[in-house]
Amino acid sequence: MSNKLIHKESLINSGEDERTVPLVPRENRPRPSINQCFHNETLNNSHEGGGTVPRFTQNHLQNTMNQCIQKAQKHKGLLTGIILFLLGCLYYLPRFLMEGIPHYLNEDTYMHLNRMVGLRNVWKSPVNFLNFAHNGPVVNIFYPWLPMYPMYVFSRITGSYVTAYKLYYLLLTLVTLYLSYFSLKKISGSSCSALLFSVMYTFSAYRFTNVFRRAHLGESICMTVMPLVLLGLYNIAFGNKKRWAPLAAGMTVIAYSHNIFLLIASLTIGLFTLISIRFWTERKERFLSLCKAAAAAIVFSLGSFVPMVQYMLSNRLYTPGGSGQGLQDSAFRLIEIIKKSFRNEPVSYAVGFLVLAALLWLIIFYLFNIFRHSCYKKNRAADCFALTGMLIFFAATSLLPWKLIGDHTPLYFIQFVWRLNAQSTIYILTAFCLYFPRTLHSSRIKGTLTCLIIITACVLHGSALLTLHKEENTRIFEKDIASGDAITFDYAPVEAKEYRSIHGYTLDDVLINGAPYPAEISLSEDGTFYTAFIDAPDSGTEKLTADIPVFRYNTQICLVNGAETETLLSERGTTLVELLPGEKNEISIFYKHTTMTYISWIISLCAFLLICSQRKKMKIPLLPISHTA
Give the model confidence (pLDDT) of 70-93 as tens digits: 665 666 778 899 999 999 999 999
Kindly state whether residue 503 falls inside one of the protein's structural domains: yes
Contact between 587 and 576 (Cβ < 8 Å): no
CA separation (Å) from 490 to 286, 487, 493? 40, 9, 9
How much of the chain is in helix, strand and coil states, percent to nearest 5?
60, 10, 30
pLDDT for 219-245, tens place per residue? 999 999 999 999 999 999 999 999 999
11: confidence class by pLDDT, cuts 50, 70, 90 = very low
Rounded to an integer, the average pLDDT of 414-426 is 94
Kindly state whether residue 122 falls inside one of the protein's structural domains: no
Around Cβ 189, how many Cβ atoms within 10 Å? 13
Q: How far apart are CA 589 and CA 579, in angstroms?
A: 14
pLDDT of residue 56: 53
Q: How far apart are CA 238 and CA 211, in angstroms?
A: 33
pLDDT higher for 620 or 547? 547
Kindly state whether residue 504 falls inside one of the protein's structural domains: yes
Tell me, yes or no, whether 468 and 506 share the same domain: no
| 247: enclosing H helix or E strand | helix 245-255
Tell me, yes or no, whether 542 and 452 share the same domain: no
pTM (whole model) above 0.95: no
Rounded to an integer, the average pLDDT of 530-549 is 87
Q: Which of 334, 112, 200, 103 is nearest to 208 (CA)?
A: 200
How deeply is 531 buried, as exposed, middle or buried, from its count of CB atoms within 10 A (0-12, 13-18, 19+)? middle
469: confidence class by pLDDT, cuts 50, 70, 90 = confident
pLDDT of residue 596: 95
Range of 524's domain? 494-593
pLDDT of residue 156: 94
Tell me, yes or no, whether 399 and 367 share the same domain: yes
Q: How far apart are CA 571 and CA 566, in angstroms?
A: 17
pLDDT higher for 137 or 442? 137
pLDDT surpasses 50 at 103: yes
pLDDT of residue 542: 75
Kindly state whether residue 94 falls inside one of the protein's structural domains: yes
Contact between 253 and 221 (Cβ < 8 Å): yes
pLDDT of residue 55: 53
pLDDT surpasses 60 at 53: no
pLDDT of residue 65: 58
Kindly state whether residue 255 falls inside one of the protein's structural domains: yes
Contact between 136 and 550 (Cβ < 8 Å): yes
Contact between 241 and 289 (Cβ < 8 Å): yes
pLDDT of residue 57: 62
Q: How far apart are CA 385 and CA 273, in angstroms?
A: 10
pLDDT surpasses 90 at 490: no
pLDDT for 358-399, tens place per residue? 999 999 999 888 776 555 567 899 999 999 999 999 999 999
DSSP classification of residue 502: T
Tally the domains of the chain.
3
31: confidence class by pLDDT, cuts 50, 70, 90 = low
- Of the residues 479, 507, 537, the one at which a domain ends: 479
pLDDT for 340-362, tens place per residue? 999 998 778 899 999 999 999 99
Contact between 549 and 507 (Cβ < 8 Å): yes
Q: How far apart are CA 327 and CA 403, in angstroms?
A: 6
Kindly state whether residue 436 falls inside one of the protein's structural domains: yes
